[in-house]
Structures are given as structure tokens and as C-alpha cells.
Structure 1
Amino acid sequence: MAAILTTLTGKVLIQVEGMDPVEVGTIEIPIHADVSTLRTSGADTAIPAEDVPPFRPPPTLHRHKPVQHRDGKAPWCNACGLDANYETSVSRLAGKEE
């Protein structure tokens, strides 16, 4: 017997080089699983953090191009706000007293 575990919901964007992304719709993807194969306890199935690969979104979502800005942060992408490793960047000026 299959059950829906969760539903992924997201925006569908189109971006032409040199222009801002335009939202063209939304998408919902149900995630199914065979309930008979699910374990009642997940304690023994945990994956160690060092074995989980870093998140890398598909390159087709947008042209990921981190550039240096005047905000004291590492270079970040104007389209998604993430750095070259697809992580949020922290300002080098944060916490400094003026």
C-alpha cells in the first residue's frame, strides 16, 4: 500500500540572460512510499552527517554567478543570494563595533 509522505511545493521560474527571473507558475510533487517497507523506528537508519553530500541545486534553475558586493560578505549570487557553495554567506563586518 502506497502513502504520500509529503508534498514538495515550489515556484517555476524562467530567466533570460540579463533579465530578472519571472514566475510562470507553481508545482506540487507528492512523495510516495510503500508503507509496508517503512520501519517503525528510524533510530538505526540515521545517516551520519559526513556521509550526506552537500546540497547542489540543478544548474538549470538559474545562472548561478556569485559576485563580490560592497556588503562585507563573500561573493554571492544576485538571483538566489547564495555563495559559490550554495550556502548563505555571513558578513565579515557582522559583530564589529563601529
Structure 2
Amino acid sequence: MELTSQQNQKAVQRVLSVLNRFDLMGLEPGRPGGVPDDEYLPEASALVQVLAMNGAIDVDQLRHTWLEWLSDDLSGQPSDVLDDLVGALIKEFRIAIVE
């Protein structure tokens, strides 16, 4: 799927919001004492590319992207958390592309 520039920007912001909410690395983005709220921006952009290419994302694709960008395969994360994260990423991506 080819995204317009506006769709891509909206999707990246929505995916970034999800990543900040789940905060798998415990970096507390945007919070006092935490990292800047755009800390996960490169990962959000990479995940939007996967979502745009496939229309969805699965846990294996999430793990691959996370490993590539953060050298972490998320093996320490509970599977239900990763499933919830994947669901939230897909939902927010789909909202972004129809707005």
C-alpha cells in the first residue's frame, strides 16, 4: 500500500503513541526523568513501513524490527503484551490511513 505523505505522518505519530504507551524498554518517554517523547520515532517509522507493505504486522515482524533497531528480540516480554501491542499498532495504523 502506498501512503501519502500525510497518511505516513499520521501513521508514524499514532504508532509512536502506541510505542510510548507500551514502553517495552522502560525508557519513560515524555515523562519527567525519562527520554524525549520521540525516542521511539525510528522504530515507529520502521513499523509503519512494515504495516504499509503488509496491511498488518505480526509478533515476528515486530520482533525483527525491534531487534534491528534496538538489538532486543523482545524475548523477555510476555506474549500477551506483544499480542496486545501488535493489535494496537494495527488499529492505530488503520485509523491513520482513513483520517
**TM-score band, normalised by the shorter chain?**
under 0.3
Bigger fraction of residues in strand: 1
Which of the pair has the greater relative contact order for Cα pairs under 8 Å at 6+ separation? 2
TM-score when scaled to structure 2? 0.27
Bigger Cα Rg: 1
Bigger fraction of residues in helix: 2
TM-score when scaled to structure 1? 0.27
